[in-house]
Chains A and B, each alone.
Chain A
Amino acid sequence: MFLLRSPATLTAFLLCGLMSLCGCASDRGNSAVGNTSSAAAAPPLQVKPRNFSGHWEKNFQLSDDFNTRLRLYIADLERAFARQSRGLEGGAPANFSNEAINGLARFTEELTRMPLLEIMQDEQLVTIEREGDFPLRCAYAGRQFARTSNSFGSDICGWERESLVFQMALGGGLTITHQFTLSPDANMLNVTTRVSSSSVAVPLVISNYYRRYDPPEADYDCQLTLTRRTVCSQRGNTQR
């Protein structure tokens, strides 16, 4: 099993990301459609990133069992609470609202289902299509990371050693980080998702594994148009 969590480097990325996201927050809503993006300020990539392209299906055997993970998480919270109770004089009491913990758990469970992924990658852009959710896109354009923001939040994505990291800072103190890491033989993909809310002291971390699969080949090539919507032609036939 390949190990994916490197707390020191991930922390550095997250710190850098959070600083960047704070910087972006003031940009919100500046443009006509409320979107801004930039990869220009980031340093250039020093090494060629690994290629994540392909179709991936969730390996339920290797992935975290959500309920088990949640029990461990609650135990963590209880320990944190106990530690804080013992030293109550020192710090402010943490918020351990049941509603906030349940909310975070339920939200994280839904967010990390993602049974199928399709990843497309070139030297400018990585797009991760997720079943049932919006695609994650990182327009890194040869840089270490890229930032985007819109009226409802900011995100930073980029390369942390061999991992691809997406971090989103959304309204209400919600922060989501997805870290994608390939196994050395590139046949297994780990997605570690960290969800934190300003209402709960400890983030919830879920680790899922995916394996490659080959989808059945489509018989048609389709192209999006404006006036005719999607126009398809039989594969190999250039006429439309």
Chain B
Amino acid sequence: MTVTDIGYVAFVLALVLSLYGIVVSVLGARRGLPELIASGRNAVYVVGGLVLIAALTLWYALLNNQFQVEFVATHSERNLPALYKFAALWGGQAGSLTFWTLLLCGFAVAATWFFRNEQPSLRPYVNATLLGAIAFFVTVVLFAANPFEKLWRATNGQIISAVIPPAGATPFVPADGQGLNPQLQNYWMIVHPVMLYLGFVGLTVPFAFAVAALITGQLGNTWVKLIRKWTLIPWLFLGIGIIMGSQWAYVELGWGGYWAWDPVENASLLPWLTATAFIHSIMIQERRGMLKVWNMVLIWLTWELTLFGTFLTRSGVIESVHSFALSPIGPMFAVFIIATLLAYLALLVWRLPLLQSDNQLDAVLSRETAFLSQNVIFVVIMLATLLGTMFRPISEWVTGNKISLNEPYFEQVNGPIFLVLLLIMGAAPLLAWHRSGPETLRRNFALPIAATLLAAALLYLFGMRNPAGIVGIAALVFVFAGIVQEYVRGVQARRHATGEPLLQALVNLVRRNGRRYGGYIVHVGVLMIALGIIGNEFFQSESQGNLQPGQTIQVANTVLTYRGLEASRGPNYIEYTARLDVQRGGRSVGQVLPKKHVYDKNPEQPMTEVGLMPGLIEDVYVVLAGFEGSGSTASFKVYINPLMSWLWIGEVFLVLGVLIATWPRRAPALVAASARLPTSAQPA
């Protein structure tokens, strides 16, 4: 008996109770029985508690080296640092699905508690939908990827893994585990999957509200207002998760880049794209009562894409069409995705007559049209990325030949569409709601366009000859100038109205209308991220060389001198650290320390730890590619990555902007007084 047996029982109970909760919630709502609805609500809390207990037993087993548990034996080892033992839960299929279920329960419990006194008619269906999603993941964990299985020696001597051993089997406890995949032993890997999962599972809450709105026929703008923050926060987590994944790739994979458009990365990007479209288009519904069907479709797509991404990356279907049936996970996800797609489609068609738009467009040149275009472009990027991700198995299936779709494909296809998106992002805030007359257009666009042309001219004058680089940076200037103009005019108007000093006017402007100005800060974050991408994409320089101590290698204006190699012992690896002096323009600016880790459990797979000297202008990025003897000769790859730091600074601005946009406020928002979270969420 190990502690994980308790976890297994808890999961079985969680499955039973979540099914019970679905039934009583729906019954209670249909028959109008508040006791049943309350029982369904309590089921959410209890299921959440049970899944937490189960996860705790796995953490206990991991931290206490209970190697009889198969998941622990295959994903941990005695010498693994405690933090990585803790993070090993999401270092493998079965554990990560359990962790996913735990976070999903966390969101379900939080939403259930938050709305406990509100929306009595929507609530039971929200609970039932949340429990439905939980029940699915609990089922997958119990029947397809069970982390509670233990190792046994069967009577014929074979080692098997099972929760309940066959007759005559004796417990098998390995002396040590096989260790955690070395690629995952990095600090970004502790936090990045957590962020990503929080984004994925959090989007279930707005989806559940959409389902409840469709079932009850309460299709006004209430559900949209209720879930604004419940969408923005998971959207932020998803965005942070994606960027942190890039940071991991940047420091751990050692190819000078951060995003390879591989299926796992694309799987996280797909729902982010539709979610981004959704958080913009619900503004139109709030203000104008338009795009009701479209919003229902976007949140549907977003949620299905979170599942689809999981399906893609865990079923093995992307590696080869033939691996689909090897694990029951693929078929289970496929059935669930198709079933929920069809069920939602039926609901949507049934309710179409109630989803009529309250308004029409007033003019082609309006904020509404810009939002609509932005939405369509996001969906186009999503479809193009989905096609690129799926085309490899499709082509293999049709032609029998293996092909690959990597960076060059996605950059050629998505690059121009992203540029269009950037221009819309710049233009939208400059267009007025309803319609923009010629005078407004001239007044709002003059400055940003002038700034754009000036920037392009300056870049050319200072010697930049890369057309894509010039166009990209000029587009960033266009968007940025528009945002600055919005801030300046807002502050001016406020000072004019109140006579406040400059700084106070700025602070109050942002505080009183966090949704608009927080949104602009998010846009500034996106611009910074785009700047980093453009820098790395178009202006990276690199060089590789074999050096003996004292020899130098030059890349762009940076000269590196190899000083020597040292070996030291880490907790579960040997660390080889090379030391290089960095000189820029003849001046010494410091040292970089590229490393190789050779893990005890995976000596054949040495891991790269990049030597990095980050800077606002450029990063010096050094990879120790190999060495001979004790470092008498070492091979280095050196990259100069311009503007990369802005990617990570932009991430901070995303967080800041979303915090401002979601911060509870006393004063009514400027954009629309009706846009607040209603009732008790906001004290009057």
Q: Do A and B come from the same complex?
A: no
